[in-house]
Amino acid sequence: MKHEGRADAVVDRTDMDVRCGCRLLLCAAALATAAVATAAARAEPAGAAAVPGAREVAALLHGIPQSGASLGNAKARLTIVEYADVQCVYCARFARETLPTVIRKYVRTGRARLVFRGLAFLGPDSGTALRWTFAAGRQNRLWNVLELLFAGQGDENSGWVTEARLTAVARSVPGLDLARMRQDRGGKTVTAQIAAAAQAARGAHVPGTPFFQAGSSLMTLQTLSLKNFDPDDFTKQLDRLLLR
């Protein structure tokens, strides 16, 4: 199924003509879901709970520094920016099939860092999930919550983003203070982060999600193409940027 959307719809939740995905991804065939578990030799971090993907996400991100919406070494040679809506099915597919390779090959090795710019244009569940995600970033756990929401993603605007689900996700993230997260989700800082991401999307002329840019800094970003979810196709673009 192809999902289409205008650039202005990315930052306007009132434009309900936009449907899930919103990125024109023409895939010749379905690709096998890539495993997100790390090598068996790595010990499973303590605190991983039984929500979909909890152990895999904890292992994938274990030991990688996080700072707000950033994952990885702040001094990395390459910065990769991802625009995504938590309800976007293609964003979830990228998280499952491509992102683990990017994290292992570039982020964990210190060559690149990831920056999340969350959008909420697909409906009420998007806004609720995004607030929780940015609230987790206040405790440097944004990427854990984001990847767990993608791992357990429900049907668009079906009401799947419930308090019970969000609570279970938060409790499965080692070191995350649930009470503080609940307090922060409606705060001015999270509201400002959501507004800043929307403004950045307008400035970058983001046509839909997922959308990626990369460069040596946030001031030198170039758009990356995502024609399919083959990790090799995506990482080749990152390799070319690292060679410059």
The 10s digit of each residue's pLDDT in 177-232 is 999 999 999 999 999 999 999 999 999 999 999 999 999 988 889 999 988 899 99
pTM: 0.81
- Give domain status of residue 100, yes or no: yes
pLDDT tens digits along 69-80: 999 999 999 999
**Distance in angstroms (rounded) separating the CA atoms of residues 184 and 108:** 28
Within a domain: 74: yes
Domain harbouring 133, CATH code: 3.40.30.10
> Is residue 223 helix, strand or coil?
strand
pLDDT at residue 9 tops 60: no
First-to-last CA distance in the chain? 37
Specify the number of domains making up the chain: 1
Whether 34 is covered by a domain: the verdict is no
Which residues are paired to 117 by β-bridges?
83
What is the three-class DSSP state of 66? strand
Question: Is residue 222, in this structure, part of any structural domain at all?
Answer: yes
Within a domain: 33: no
What per-residue confidence (pLDDT) applies to 76?
A: 97
> 3-state class of 219 per DSSP?
coil
**Rounded mean pLDDT, 26-31:** 29
Share of the chain above pLDDT 90, in %: 74
pLDDT of residue 50: 66
Rg of the chain (C-alpha set): 17
pLDDT at 115: 98
Instruction: Note whether residue 29 is domain-resident.
Output: no
Domain that holds residue 198: 8-15+48-243
Average pLDDT of the chain to the nearest whole number: 84
User: 241 pLDDT band (50/70/90 cuts)?
Assistant: very high
The tens digit of pLDDT for each residue in 113-165 reads 999 999 999 999 999 999 999 999 999 999 999 999 999 999 999 999 999 99
